Structure 1
């Protein structure tokens, strides 16, 4: 979908006019995802407008923010949401506006730290987040259930062989009638794909939003660990490791 939002300049720390420039502080990168079907919203960070008229599927940024706490707000017809965000030096974070699990619920916001660490050759990293109006779901990759019972706002992270993989989202405990997919997802080596399942299968709005970045090599030969986790606003939940072939 072509972005309809009017993006403004990234937020940058500035000095006082007339003062000598000091050392440049390392920044954090924040990307904003609009995942509410039918909504048109304006986005502000710390009271400064960064986008207007953002529609579902728009990927805004990345914006450079100073390390520390910030507030991201979304406003529009039927939408008025403010979310606190804390970012670390050099980190990359996605902030996602989406619908809750319950039908008719007000939009909510979750943040997801992008795992940008180095990766081995011929591998790709994927973060798949459940931001749809559905109950907890399972994820199947190439016909195998690799994540179970992921609730709205939670995510799964995996490192998989580069190439094309068939991915489907299904009601927990089911192996038929996918909520989404199966989809063929092409993953290039040494990339990170942040993927968000959004919408409501009852009204045909179920879809995905994805964006990809390049990772550096770490020299490893066989990184195959898969972990489940929670959304960025629900840290501290235990994770369970799985192993995916290879």
Structure 2
């Protein structure tokens, strides 16, 4: 029975369907990550502005996104917002919108933390030698902030990839949803198929996320050695 369950993975076009579902997962993740990086960088710089109103609004946005579960946001956008506005939103578009909103907030906070972690005396030294604010950020602040930001940003990317599994609950046929469909089709003839299918899905997420995680660790170790050297 166990062999039969394993064979189901490669019967017909099941494996091809799983790979196509993985492609959807990667597509949603990639677009969401790219949008989060672009808008997160902007949002992070805005969060460093010394303005009470801007600080309050940016903190409100950040805390709202952190408190609200991503699944609830998906439901609000896909089921609630679409009906309220009378528009037809696809599951993939809704997922990208929600994950970009979430990723922008998280990335922005990482950017803010990286920028504010730069010692104050470096800002003062830059001003003392006559650098403009633009030059100071370009030559002093951003290069150091980038080193501190990148490993944490890569960890955020892996979290976003794993969180895309939630889109199966709004009908997006990504890798998890595809696996569930295969299991449902053979649940009577191959009851052990679920074990092998979820093991395969676990492995696919692992091979996607593990190299990214290792790259983050490599950067951290390389830069630590560079600083200590």
Please report the TM-score for the alignment, with normalisation by the length of structure 2: 0.20
| Structure with a larger share of its residues in helix | 2
> Rg bigger for which structure?
2
What is the TM-score with the length of structure 1 in the denominator? 0.19
- Bigger relative contact order (CA 8 A; separation at least 6): 2
Which has more strand, going by share of residues?
1
